[in-house]
Each structure stands twice: as C-alpha cells, then as structure tokens.
Amino acid sequence: MSDLSQARAGVARHWSLAEVEALFALPFNDLMFQAQTVHRQHFDANAVQLSTLLSIKTGGCSEDCGYCSQSARHDTGLEREKLMEVDEVVAAARAARDAGATRFCMGAAWRGPKDKDLDAVAGMVREVKALGLETCVTLGMLKPGQAEALKAAGLDYYNHNLDTASEFYGQVVTTHTHADRLDTLAKVRDAGIHVCCGGIVGMGESRRVRAGLILELANLDPQPESVPINMLVKVPGTPLADAAEQGGEGALNGDLDPFEFVRTIAVARVTMPASHVRLSAGRHELGEGVQALCFLAGANSIFHGDKLLTTGNPDVTADQALFARLGLRAEPVSGRRCAGH
C-alpha cells in the first residue's frame, strides 16, 4: 500500500526521515493535493475547530526556552502575575464559548505545577467543563499522580509541545531535555487524557530539522489528537528575537518563507491524517492569504481570540470575516471525522 493510500485509510505506520523529507520536497501543488486528499478522507473539509487560550498564571517561569516571553531569565518587560482566581477563569471561558470556541485551554508559566497549584487548576477544569466546553491545560512537566488528578477533574486534553526536533532541542532549551517532554506525554497518555502536542518553526532550524519534528510527532504511538503548529513570534528580549533561518530550502531573507510554513502544515496533515492540525502562534503575522493556504493544506483548528498567552492574535471579528470569505464554519464539540471514518 502506498504512503498516500495508507494515510487515506488511516493505517498506522512508522515514518522514516527520508519519507518525511520527500514530502517536503514535493512540488507545492502536488503536496497540497496530497494533503487535501487525506484531509477530506478524515474530516469535513470546511469545518474548523475553535479553541481559546488563556494565560492563568503569567511570567516568572524558571525555564530558559529561547522563544518564550515568560521566562524569568529573559528581560522582556513582562510582569510576573499570580495564579488567576477561578471565577475570573470561568468568566473568560464563558465569553470564549459565547464567541464560538468549543475548547478552552489554560496555560501556566511553570516548570511544573506544585500540588497546591494543581488543586486550584483542577477546580478551574471542573468549572469550565460544566460550561459544556472541552478542557485543556498546559502546565509544564508533570510529577507522578498529577495527570491522574487532572483526569479526575474532567480534563480532556493536555498540551505539551515537543517544540522542535530532538537534534535541535538543545539550541532552544537547556534547563530540561527533549526526553523530559516525552516523559510528561507518557504520564498524560497513561492517565487516559488526550494529547495536544506540536512545535514551533522559524527558530533558525533547517528544513531537515522541521522534517525531524514532524517525524517525531507522527511516530508518537498513538499520534496526538491535536497538533498545534506555531510560527515563531520574535519577542524582544528573548534569545530568539533575532533568529534567522539557515540558508537553503525554507529561508527567505533570513526568515522562514511563508510557503515553507504551509508545507509544514501539509506534511503534518499527510503524516497525521486523523489529528486536528492547529494554526497557533504567528497567525497574525502570516496574514489572511497564507492562512487560507494553510486551511487548504489541512489545518482544521485555530486559536480563537485576540491574545495567545502573551502575544497577539487575530481578533474574533477578523476570524469571522475570514471564515465567511472562505466558506468555513466552526466545528461543533462533537465534530470529528467524515461519515464512515
């Protein structure tokens, strides 16, 4: 069975780096055709899942992630804030639901949560769940028993990105390892929580590294239910504020070529046919035309709302107008795959 036939049929397979690199190297139209074909086999081609992301605890993180405005090690002018109160979070979740979001994601700038903080977050999860929303949190690395506590509170998804390929990871983060990331993902899976796991492109990596990231995500067993793909937002004061792409495929005047970002979305769709592929950070910078190409390439989820943790995002009105122009619609909570899949 060919690669495309396997993807169409939803057959689990182990990808090789050479195969993923070959997808990246396809003529743009051929890659888009493959991605759209796979996408239509598994999802409504014109439905997009809407998530809203709220920073429930901002700033002061001990980690040194080179892209992050919230690291205490970087001088970004961001003030450290305490954990939000439950009623504040619920009010934000209700507003997100009323604006069309079906999933509410809560992020805290921690290396990992303390047990007392986890208890507070669990209370938020219960209250947000009661609003009829899917729940997601991103809290950093988890200790034994914490994933189970979140599951008991009703958590649907845990976000913990790989960020980049293992070979490049040390150039982005030094205070924890790629293996630490995988350890938390294993805890989440063992607790029966869905996995939201993706990465960031445009951090100065080569196309081979981007292929390596998609390879590692696609070869997770099982594959992540949600795959957020972020374009680096260059925040002044972070080590990656002046990141420049390496020469060769994917570079354009020192930055990531927007078409390379679209290729990354398409390769994610072909290799992870049943996953929601989410346009995440950097949508504002991509512009509407590139976003439209990303939807054509198989992206079927976005972060909805005017802010992503600490960086800007297209506002709800702008997204509604773009959806109307493209004939897209919001996917309901229960919306997953096409009939027969």
Is 68 one of the catalytic residues? Answer: yes
273 upstream amide cis, omega within 30 of 0: no
What distance in Å separates the CA atoms of residue 292 and residue 235, rounded to the nearest whole number? 25
The catalytically annotated residue of 8, 103, 181, 196 is 196
The catalytically annotated residue of 105, 181, 208, 294 is 105
The catalytically annotated residue of 8, 103, 136, 269 is 136
Is 294 one of the catalytic residues? Answer: no
The catalytically annotated residue of 8, 207, 269, 278 is 278
Question: 269 near 220, Cβ under 8 Å?
Answer: no
Question: 164 near 213, Cβ under 8 Å?
Answer: yes
Question: 49 near 59, Cβ under 8 Å?
Answer: no
Instruction: State both tokens at 49.
Output: 């899942």
Is 197 one of the catalytic residues? Answer: no
Give the relative orientation of helices 86-98 and 115-130 as an angle to the nearest 10 degrees. 30
Nearest to 62 by CA among 161, 168, 164, 140: 140
Is 105 one of the catalytic residues? Answer: yes
Q: Classify residue 267 by its DSSP letter.
A: H
The catalytically annotated residue of 8, 61, 97, 294 is 61
Tell me if residue 201 falls in helix, strand or coil.
strand
The catalytically annotated residue of 8, 68, 97, 263 is 68
Question: 225 near 275, Cβ under 8 Å?
Answer: yes
Nearest to 141 by CA among 158, 157, 166, 126: 158
Instruction: State both tokens at 272.
Output: 């992870």
Q: Which residues pair with 53 in a beta bridge?
A: 105
Catalytic residues: 61, 65, 68, 105, 136, 196, 278
